[in-house]
Amino acid sequence: MAKPVFKAASPEQCAKRKEDLAADLKRNFEAFQQRKDVIRQDDGSYDVEGDVEDPGSLDFKRLAARYGKVVGNFSCGGTLESLEGTPRVIGGNFSFHGELQSLKGFPEEVKGNVLFMNHPIHGNRLDAKRWAECDIREACHTIGGRVTVENHEGI
């Protein structure tokens, strides 16, 4: 019998990794807020003149912020319940990579392409939602470019 190549992390190592991740996410969000092209709106949302890659929250179940309009490209991912908080208008491309239970909150307008890669993170879950191009087009009022939807069996 082969000797295991990897050893499971200890609870202390797991806690340290989570702590480090939280610190990284906080630093990334603070850097985002300091960008010259980011404007915080009165309702707490953010308008951005450039591109945004949302790092997600510590639990990866929601976005790091709520966005109003992003002039450039917008990408996000995680194991999300919905897309609430994504920009209403995206001037460039929109990409999602992860697992999504609901299209609620999908951007109203994407002037570029939509790349939607649905990955059930927990492996081959039979209950994981699968999306089709018609679902994306129904959720988004205006898409200026192509729509690409990939549903993968898991990672």
Instruction: Write down the pLDDT at residue 7.
Output: 84
Instruction: Write down the pLDDT at residue 112.
Output: 98
- According to the 3-state scheme, what is the secondary structure of 13-36? HHHHHHHHHHHHHHHHHHHHHHCC
Q: Would you list the domain boundaries of the chain?
A: 11-151
The dihedral through the CA atoms of 147, 143, 88, 29 has a sign that is positive
pLDDT, block means (10 residues), the chain with 155 residues: 80 92 90 95 96 82 92 92 94 92 94 88 61 92 94 62
Which pTM value belongs to this model? 0.84
